Structure 1
């Protein structure tokens, strides 16, 4: 059976959000999981990347109670190109939110409902001041998604 591909699209404008992106990459690349893992920034992700993926993990910051502009740009550029072909794609989300995160979560639920992507679990919202445990939570989320896709659960 061909190795499956997990695409991680992570908006990482700061050293801490870069730690989250690297934690996601590391979790998905766990030695017990046979998965091709691709980590890209939203601005570098093209429709072809999404079309080639078996699952997608999205990481974004919350800006003004909404997803980061570059995350929105990713969806603006890719939405219609992947709409018909990627229905049912397993999807997970983490949000780095200083305060709340619910506006970003709600917006992404709307977009991914339109795409008919399958959320594997509730959005992981990392609220408040930076905590080192945020990286562990993102690593676990990525590992869960990758292992589930590899095993055919998602």
Structure 2
């Protein structure tokens, strides 16, 4: 049985982002989800090959100064054109952490993923301040929902 690959592209500079990242990974790697390989890449180290080899994506970013992190923007800058026609229709999800509002970061991710032709597989998870138990549960569910869509 061939497995699918879920690529988690994340920028995790804070304890709050780390807690959200760990919850997303936990959901994506739930034992109930079979045949999905979960690959984690820091946004500054992701390559076009990483994206091309993935069947679905999870994006994690803080909202800095009203936009996605420079690291996630860099990942898209490096990978956008090599992936433009090759990753259309692939599912993705995203989680955001911001203390000053995340609308600009969400718009940026919407714009780039629309350009790539990716399919939004779940509602975004948006957290402000310290992630609550419910927020971490939402992150877990995000990981599980996107991973489950890649099961054979």
- Structure 2-normalised TM-score? 0.94
Provide the residue aligned with 1:21 in structure 2: 21
Shift of 1:129: 4.1
Deviations 1:99-123 (A, max 9, x none): 3211110111111110010001232
**Counterparts of 1:42 and 1:103, CA distance in 2:** 18
Provide the residue aligned with 1:90 in structure 2: 91
Shift of 1:26: 1.1
SS in structure 2 at match of 1:39: strand
SS in structure 2 at match of 1:150: coil
Shift of 1:16: 1.9
Q: Which runs of 5+ in 1 are unaligned?
A: none
Contact 1:99 1:128 in 2 (8 A): no
Greater relative contact order structure (CA < 8 Å, 6+ sep): 2
Deviations 1:66-99 (A, max 9, x none): 0001011000001001111001110111111113
Q: How many residues align?
A: 151
Deviations 1:8-40 (A, max 9, x none): 111100122112111111111100111100111
Contact 1:98 1:129 in 2 (8 A): no
SS in structure 2 at match of 1:2: coil
Q: Which runs of 5+ in 2 are unaligned?
A: none
**Counterparts of 1:122 and 1:99, CA distance in 2:** 20
Provide the residue aligned with 2:115 in structure 1: 114
Query: Which segments of structure 1 move beyond 6 Å, counting only runs of 4 or more?
Result: none
Shift of 1:127: 2.4
**Counterparts of 1:130 and 1:101, CA distance in 2:** 15
Shift of 1:48: 0.5
Shift of 1:130: 3.6
Deviations 1:41-80 (A, max 9, x none): 1011111011111000001000000000101100000100
**Counterparts of 2:121 and 2:148, CA distance in 1:** 12
- Structure 1-normalised TM-score? 0.93
TM alignment of 1:69-108, pairs within 5 A:
69-108=70-109
Contact 1:51 1:85 in 2 (8 A): yes
